[in-house]
A and B are shown apart, each in its own frame.
Chain A
């Protein structure tokens, strides 16, 4: 066969095959994988740039939003919406409301706290603390009860959501009661039972003992 084909042809074939092999190896074993790697690297850099640009845009937008909402947020902070439900503080605030509203007495029970995680806090590390509160109010006039309710709505720590009110006239205003009032004895003419949910927002890690909904698996 070599005699028929000739050494020259065989050499050419061998050289061409070698060149093909070398070119193939360079192309498929080095250049193409290297190109893919470089492309991937380029995509990574581009992706990082895009991500950073997106973050910059978001920061700028948030900065404007913060500027606009800063006042409202500070009001919420002043209202105590971002505090733990300190019972002593609640007691003190309740006493202030009782005093301002001029009701004769306000007996209250704050039930066990529970944790809520509404959709609005899911992106933050905050949870909502909720405590049901029952108050029994005794007053001389129903207007004092209304004042109490108004202050409860607007001046109590955090957010108060009245669930029910039962307002009852205990005594009629007659001579006996007028005489009693006149003698300085406290005469309860109106009694009200109020039930409301007290809510504040706290950081998740501040409520270790309280079960957080959806956190059982953590």
Chain B
């Protein structure tokens, strides 16, 4: 059963042998609109008008209840792959109904446990299921004049087409649902269920299901129950007995029991119940009562003894059908409209999306404009603050960059400047009153900017002290004084290295020698022996 609030709203065209019955089915009601006889002179026009105006152009479901509908059960497909299955099925269906343009195939659920027969039969059946393909019920409908007239009317009405279905097949699940609801929790649902209902056309439709699947259907004419309930009941009972006799061919035994459900007036139902003499669960109800059992609402009905409103409501509210018949003529009408509907749906979705996008963008634009206005206010405030700071800096009368550049540059020069005065003071202190220098050379050596951490620390200052002793002094005494001077200087000059590069009397002259000859200051070898040199190396400061 379909869910009420999701039920589609449709127009159901119930095709009977006598006339076309039109129902407008909504979630809450199944309203009988009109009957149009096939022989009506303005059939197309009338139906078209009804579909457009009375039914509001709702999607049309064509529910075929004519006598001319043929079934071929037990059609087994060979075991083929998924890709070939549809082609094989289509070909087999064409072979089964070569002259019927409206066809359909319903897969049948197979049960492995046979009720009768021995173990050998069971094994054979199981083996058959394993080795063969799926089992189908084939259905075919000839293109009778009523059907082509209906198609033409639908074509002219411009209404969308929901499909072409067969009433017995689409009602089989309704019969099962009724059977289950009536059984409730008190008893087990019977394997067989028979639904009998007379339509407004007078046709008596019997739908027999076995385990919820259509087992058999019959349509016959019956007398009107309004004339005489007892006569109607006898007619129906005769038809029911005939049906049972057919069913016995399919393995039905009267002892199996069945659910017998009849839509009729209360009097007719009671008359029929009195006649039924086989063991079965007999239920008779009006069409509204049957709908209530199914949980549906049909709304007010002109005559509650006819069952066609129930069939129309059940099929009309379905979301998906058990067997949607393939009709080329209907497809030619249906497919363009379906495409148009799809296009409308897509365009609606597109319109919705673009509308949402446009709204979002417009909202964003308004929001951004507002934010820009806010930020411009902030910017004006900041600009005022900025101008005040600029004015304050101007008032100060100093160039910031000039001050920073000057101070940094001067400091960098100071960092690399040789501080010569402290060195001279220490040397002077080291010499004391006794010793004096002949010459002193101090230089600031260039030191590389980057010094490897494993290299010796750079010593950019180099001072060379030259001194001479009179020849009267003892050599050892002179040496001692030079050595003492070196020690004193080393003690005074922390961080500096003080080395004697030449002591008096030493012959290994390591330094490059220079002098003046031919003048009064020419030194003799003895005088040169009495000269000493001390080298001081160390940091700039």
- Find residues 385-405 in chain B having any chain A CB closer than 8 Å to their own CB: 385-386, 389-390, 392-393, 396, 398, 400-405
Known: A13-B344, A41-B372, A66-B403. A128 touches B409 (CB 8 A): yes
Contacts of A128 in B (CB 8 A): 409
Residues of B within 8 A of A23 (CB): 351, 354-355, 357-358
- Contact between B441 and A165 (Cβ–Cβ < 8 Å)? yes
Contact with B along A124-139 (1 / 0, CB 8 A): 1110100000000000
Max chain A Cβ within 10 angstroms of own Cβ: one of B348, B383, B406: B406
Q: How far is the CA of A69 from the CA of B441 in the complex (A)?
A: 38
B403 contacts A69, C-beta separation under 8 Å? yes
A168 CA / B465 CA spacing, docked (Å) = 10
Is B408 an interface residue when CB atoms closer than 8 A count as contact?
yes
Contacting pair B337 A4 (CB below 8 A): yes
State A8–B158 Cα separation when bound (angstroms): 9
CA distance A82 to B403 in the complex (A): 10
Question: Would B420 and A121 count as touching, CB distance under 8 A?
Answer: no
Q: Say how far A95's CB is from chain B's closest CB, in angstroms.
A: 21
Residues of A near B403 (CB, < 8 A) are 65-66, 69-70, 73
On whether A56 and B401 interact (CB within 8 A), knowing A23-B355, A35-B361, the answer reads: no
Indicate if the CB atoms of B336 and A5 lie closer than 8 Å.
yes
**CA of A56 to CA of B364, assembled, Å:** 32
Instruction: From B158, B355, B389, give the contact of A60 (CB < 8 A).
Output: B389
Bound Cα distance A13, B337 (Å): 12
Q: Which of A100-108, A146-154, A177-185 contacts B (4 or more CB under 8 A)?
A: A146-154
Q: Which residues on the B side are within 8 Å of A201 (C-beta)?
A: 405-406, 409-410
Contacting residues, chain B, for A13 (C-beta < 8 A): 340, 343-344, 347
**Do A56 and B379 touch (CB < 8 A)?**
no
Which residue of chain B is the closest to A161 with respect to CB atoms?
B417
Is the beta-carbon distance between B158 and A9 smaller than 8 angstroms? yes
Tell me, yes or no, whether A96 is within 8 Å of chain B by CB: no
Say yes or no for B413: interface residue by CB 8 A criterion.
Answer: yes
Chain A minimum-CB-distance residue to B355: A23
Docked-complex contact A17 and B347, CB < 8 angstroms: yes
Quick one: given A16-B347, A167-B440, are A120 and B408 in contact (CB under 8 Å)?
yes
B403's nearest neighbour on chain A, judged by CB, is: A73
Whether the pair B365, A59 counts as a contact (CB closer than 8 A) is no
Bound-state Cα–Cα, A9 to B407, Å: 85
| Known interface pairs A26-B358, A76-B407; A39-B368 also in contact (CB < 8 Å) | yes
Q: Which residue of A lies closest to B425 (CB)?
A: A146
Q: Which of B337, B361, B401, B405 contacts A31 (CB 8 A)?
A: B361
Q: Which one of A6, A46, A70, A169 has the greatest number of beta carbons of chain B within 10 Å?
A: A6
Asked if B517 is at the interface (CB within 8 A of a chain A CB), the reply is no
B375 at the interface (CB under 8 A from A): yes
Determine the chain A residues whose CB is within 8 A of the CB of B442 once the complex forms.
164-167
Complex CA–CA separation, A164 to B443 (angstroms): 4
Report Cα–Cα, A153/B389, bound state, in Å: 39
Q: Interface readout for B462-478 with A: 1 if CB under 8 Å, 0 if not?
A: 00000000000000000
Grouping DSSP codes into helix (H, G, I), strand (E, B) and loop, the B interface class, with mixed when no group exceeds half, is helix
A23 to B362, CA, bound (A): 12
Q: Is the CB of A76 within 8 A of B386?
A: no
Chain B nearest CB: distance from A43 CB in Å?
10
Cβ–Cβ contact A118 & B409, under 8 A: yes
A35 touches B407 (CB 8 A): no
Indicate whether B418 reaches chain A with its CB closer than 8 angstroms.
yes
- Segment touching B, from A47-55, A84-92, A208-216: A47-55
| B437, CB-defined interface residue at 8 Å | yes
1/0 per residue, CB under 8 A from A, across B415-454: the answer is 0111111001100000000001111111110000000000
- Given known A-B contacts A23-B355, A27-B361, A56-B382, A199 and B441 have beta carbons under 8 A apart: no
Q: Which of B348, B357, B372, B409 makes the CB contact (< 8 A) with A42? A: B372
Q: What is the number of contacts between chain A and chain B, taking CB atoms within 8 Å?
A: 202
Across-interface contacts of A153 in B (CB, < 8 A): 419-421
- In the complex the two chains form, is A65's CB within 8 Å of B404's CB? yes
Number of interface residues, chain A, beta carbon within 8 A:
71
Q: B378 interface residue, CB < 8 Å from A? A: yes
Q: Are A66 and B382 touching (Cβ within 8 A)? A: no
B405 x A20 contact (CB < 8 A): no
Known: A23-B351, A23-B354, A168-B438. A66 touches B398 (CB 8 A): yes
In angstroms, Cα B406 to Cα A162, docked, is: 20
B274 interfacial contact with A, CB 8 Å: no
Could you tell me the distance in whole angstroms from the C-beta of A139 to the nearest C-beta in chain B?
14
Q: With A and B bound together, what is the CA distance between A52 and B420 in angstroms?
A: 49
Which one of B344, B393, B444 lies within 8 Å of A59 (CB-CB)?
B393
In the complex, whether B121 has a CB less than 8 A from a CB of chain A is no
Nearest A residue to B376 by beta-carbon distance?
A45
Min Cβ gap A130→B in Å is: 10
- Asked if A38 contacts B375 (CB within 8 A), the reply is no
Partner of A27, one of B343, B354, B400, B412: B354
- Is B424 a contact of A124 with CB atoms below 8 Å? no
**Nearest Cβ distance between residue B424 and chain A, in whole angstroms?**
6
Which one of A66, A118, A121 lies within 8 Å of B396 (CB-CB)?
A66
Within the complex, the shortest CB–CB distance from A184 to chain B, in Å, comes to: 25
Q: Give chain B interface residues in 298-352, CB to chain A under 8 Å.
A: 332-333, 336-337, 340-341, 343-344, 347-348, 350-351
Taking the closest CB of chain A, its distance from the CB of B304, in whole angstroms, is 37
CA distance A109 to B420 in the complex (A): 21
Contacts of B31 in A (CB 8 A): none
Tell yes or no: B155 within 8 A of A by CB.
yes
* Contacts of A8-48 to chain B: CB distance below 8 A: 8-10, 12-13, 16-17, 19-20, 23-24, 26-27, 31-32, 34-35, 38-39, 41-42, 45-46, 48
* Whole-angstrom distance between the Cβ of A105 and the nearest chain B Cβ: 19
In the assembled complex, the CB of B434 is this many whole angstroms from the nearest CB of chain A, namely: 15
Q: Contacts A66-B398, A167-B440, A168-B439 hold; do A5 and B351 have CB atoms under 8 A apart?
A: no
CA distance A149 to B442 in the complex (A): 13
Q: CA separation between A120 and B407, bound complex, in Å?
A: 9
Residues of A within 8 A of B439 (CB): 166-169
| Contact among B336, B382, B393 for A4, CB-based, below 8 A | B336
Show 17 residue pairs from A and B whose CB-CB distance is below 8 angstroms, ordered by the A residue.
A5-B158, A13-B347, A24-B354, A31-B362, A34-B365, A38-B365, A38-B368, A42-B372, A45-B372, A46-B375, A56-B389, A123-B401, A167-B439, A167-B442, A168-B438, A169-B438, A201-B409
